[in-house]
Amino acid sequence: MARHRIEIELPATILHKDARFTVYSDGAKLGELHVSQGTIDWKPVSRQRPIRHTWERFARLMESR
């Protein structure tokens, strides 16, 4: 089973800054999850641009699986 590690970066002041979660699997970086007031973005290591979802779309995606 893969071993996962998550690093969390929370801004000192919340205004207009994303919380960032860096996700690793067996020591290799999988990507970064950016959580903001308006969207949730996943930036995999293999892509230059993040995959962006509104919170409503993210909720539908999670509920459909």
Specify the pTM. Answer: 0.85
In the chain, domain spans: 4-63
Mean of per-residue pLDDT scores for the chain: 94
Instruction: Select from 56, 10, 14, 48 the least CA-distant residue to 31.
Output: 48
Binning pLDDT at 50, 70 and 90, where does residue 40 land? very high
**58/15: higher pLDDT:** 58
SS3 42: strand
Q: Residue 13 above 80 pLDDT? A: no
